Structure 1
Amino acid sequence: MNFALMTEQLDTDVNIDKKSKIRLNKLQKRLRREMGKAIEDFNMIEDGDKIMVCLSGGKDSYAMLDILMNLQRSAPISFELVAVNLDQKQPGFPEHILPEYLASVNVPFHIVERDTYSIVKSIVPEGKTTCALCSRLRRGTLYGFAEEIGANKIALGHHRDDILETFFLNMFYGGKLKSMPPKLVSDDGKNMVIRPLAYAREKDIAEYAMLKEFPIIPCNLCGSQDGLQRQVIKEMLHAWDKQSPGRIETMFRSLQNVVPSHLADTELFDFKNLEVGFPHGIGPAMDSAVQSAELPEMIDILSV
């Protein structure tokens, strides 16, 4: 037996394990910092909140719950977390994984059973994407359950990449400048939805989930579908990020620096009452809120 070789291999394993722990610690600090900033910027969590954390079994929702629990332990306010998974009765779904994991991390949880899988399969023709209907059914069920358990906030695991992808999906295919806001009230006015990972990068979340060894559950209903519009957008953004590092960050910042006067939505900005002789055409006839708003420095398209 070659003891020298065994010792060398053991040292290598120890070094790899040490590097992994250092990397995990750095990622946790980064995700915690980004989540804390998003929570502060959008006032997502307040003292006394009961937050229903939607857990799908994917990397994003696992990371969201993990970092929220981490923040909960040191937050200056008191808030409650309740993890909720919607069991959609997909064939082969490993029902034991999430309850075992949630019990191991000592968080209150509920498993809601609804056979949305059969509904989607019976309505959507073979070969067509199921995401839209599946999301609608899932959202309705979770909104209703939040009311049942008295949760005043619903936390979803969408991250920065999801928000950008949705923006381009709406622009390319829907003709709207619209995305996923980090915080919103549902259409019926009954539910407050928050996205604590709004500032987090998907690649950081993926690495964090791998290092934490979360028991990931794949979605057999839609995860393997080819030709999804979102996948096309994801690949486009990935290519841009690779070709021009920093472009993704710049694009996301643009969603936080919207200038209505330099777009073309007549409902959003009062173009009809612009007046010559005033900066940016905003004169006394304009709304007082518009008068007092500071317009950021613009890029002159003719000088580019």
Structure 2
Amino acid sequence: MIEDTIALTNEQEIALDTKKLTKKLRSKVGKAIADYNMIEDGDVIMAAISGGKDSFAMLDILLALQKSAPVNFKVIAVNLDQKQPGFPEHILPTYFESLNIPYYIVDKDTYSVVKAKVPEGRTTCGLCSRLRRGTLYSFAEEIGATKIALGHHMDDIVETLFLNIFFGAKLKAMPPKLRSDDKRNTVIRPLSYCRESDLIKWADYKQYPIIPCNLCGSQENLQRQHIKAMLTQWDTTSPGRVENVFKSIKNVSPSQLADTDLFDFKNLPIDRTVEKDEYEFSKEVVSSTNIDESLIIDISYQA
């Protein structure tokens, strides 16, 4: 009897934790959508589903929000079958059918292209990603999708920021909302405010039919692995640091950086005709000088 009571209590705790996590993730996705106006009335959202935990979670939350959102929008699940050897083609159609949602499985043999172009032993992720993106952009137009939803989360964005800083000498990441270079498509990342650790817990609870990303034999970029390890250590030793890094890319001061294209550092004339701010500790007292006041140059000027 006691054991049954303890087991019931544990189940209740799990149910409560799951309820809190569900509310947390949906709230964060809802806020990201609102902050960046990701979804508008009448939108057709093409949810790109890879078979990984993140895209499954994104689809799940978008479908839930669809029922309660103040605007009407459609969600179409799209998977790009890149013809990787061993890819379980039946899993995603079966899953989509179980949800009773519209979906497409798009066949595109990018695997052969990548293998032909990337030397053995080198990571294929970069080229694979570009080919996949091009296919999704084109297909979005074919089906009349107005937005393409990708499953990148906060950790992905912060990792990309540091990868660009450390190895590309660029201060850029992945924005929550992006217009393609040709201006024909808009990409949204509804999970931008979500941490990967929460999505892992969510996927474990939901028991998604996850398809591994390494079917092609390519391992994740070693540089990204190092960045992931760094963020993991920060979460242990300095909780909140990753979130603060993400917040920093939302709070940018171009004049405090060094990009001459973003801020005109070359032309910064002083203007002492404007109203003077009261500086802190501005009541200076000169205790000693060897300069005769008659020698001080008058640098004031009229507007």
Q: TM-score range by the shorter chain?
A: 0.7 to 0.9
Q: What CA distance in whole angstroms lies between the structure 1 residues aligned with 2:142 and 2:123?
A: 31
Aligned to 2:32: 38
CA deviations on 1:29-83 (whole Å, 9 max, x unpaired) are 0011101110111000000000000000000000000011111001111000000
- The reply to whether residue 119 of structure 1 matches residue 113 of structure 2 is yes
Q: Is the 8 A contact 2:46 2:145 kept in 1?
A: yes
1:233 paired residue among 227, 231, 240 = 227
Cα displacement (A) at 1:187: 1.2
Task: State the SS of the aligned residue for 1:271.
Answer: coil
- Quick one: which of 100, 106, 110 aligns to 2:104? 110
Q: What does residue 220 of structure 1 align with?
A: 214
- 1:88 alignment counterpart: 82
Tell me the SS of whatever aligns to 1:147.
helix
Of 148, 152, 166, which residue of structure 2 is paired with 1:154?
148
What SS class does the counterpart of residue 110 from structure 1 fall into? strand
Q: Cα distance 1:272–1:157, how it changes in 2: closer, same or farther (>3 A)?
A: same
**Structure 2 SS opposite 1:235:** helix
Percent identical across equivalent pairs? 64
* Aligned mates of 2:58, 2:6 — CA distance in 1: 32
For the aligned residues, what is the CA RMSD?
1.7
Q: Give the distance between the partners of 1:153 and 1:198, measured in 2 at CA.
A: 16
Separation of aligned partners in 2, 1:238 and 1:223: 25
Unaligned runs of 5+ in 1: 1-6, 284-304
For residues 138-157 of structure 1, the C-alpha deviation after alignment (integer angstroms, 9 at most, x for no partner) is 00111111011000100000
C-alpha separation between the residues in 1 aligned to 2:126 and 2:94? 30
Whether 1:249 and 2:243 are equivalent positions in the alignment is yes
**Which AA in structure 2 matches 1:54?**
A
Q: Deviations over 1:107-142 (max 9, x none)?
A: 110000111111111211111000110001100111
The 8 Å contact of residues 155 and 195 in structure 1, kept in 2 or not, is answered as: yes
For the residues of structure 2 that align with 1:241 and 1:92, how far apart are their CA atoms?
Answer: 35
Matched, 1:193 2:187: yes
The equivalent of 1:293 in structure 2 is none
Q: CA 1:217–1:12 in 2, change beyond 3 Å: closer, same or farther?
A: farther
- 1:211 maps to which residue? 205
2:164 alignment partner in structure 1: 170
Distance 1:22 1:223, change over 3 A: farther
Q: 1: distance between equivalents of 2:266 and 2:250?
A: 26
Q: CA deviation at 1:16?
A: 3.4
SS at match of 2:178: strand
- Structure 1 stretches of at least 4 aligned residues deviating more than 6 Å after TM superposition: none
Distance 1:278 1:250 in 2: 37
Contact between 1:20 and 1:211, CA under 8 Å: does it hold in 2? no
Name 1:56's counterpart in structure 2: 50
- Rounded to whole Å, the distance in 1 between the matches of 2:174 and 2:272 is 35
Change (3 A) 1:119 1:224: closer
Letter in 2 for 1:17: E
In the alignment, the residues of structure 2 paired with residue 85 and residue 78 of structure 1 have an alpha-carbon distance, to the nearest angstrom, of 23
1:275 aligns with 2:258: no
Picking from 62, 67, 74, the partner of 2:61 is 67
SS of the counterpart of 1:81?
strand
**Structure 2 runs not aligned, ≥5 long:** 275-303
Aligned residues of 2:85 and 2:216 also touching (Cα < 8 A): no
Is the CA contact 2:44–2:74 (under 8 Å) kept in the aligned structure 1? yes
Bigger proportion of residues as helix = 1
**Do the aligned partners of 1:54 and 1:155 also contact (CA within 8 Å) in 2?**
yes
Count of residues in correspondence between the two structures: 274
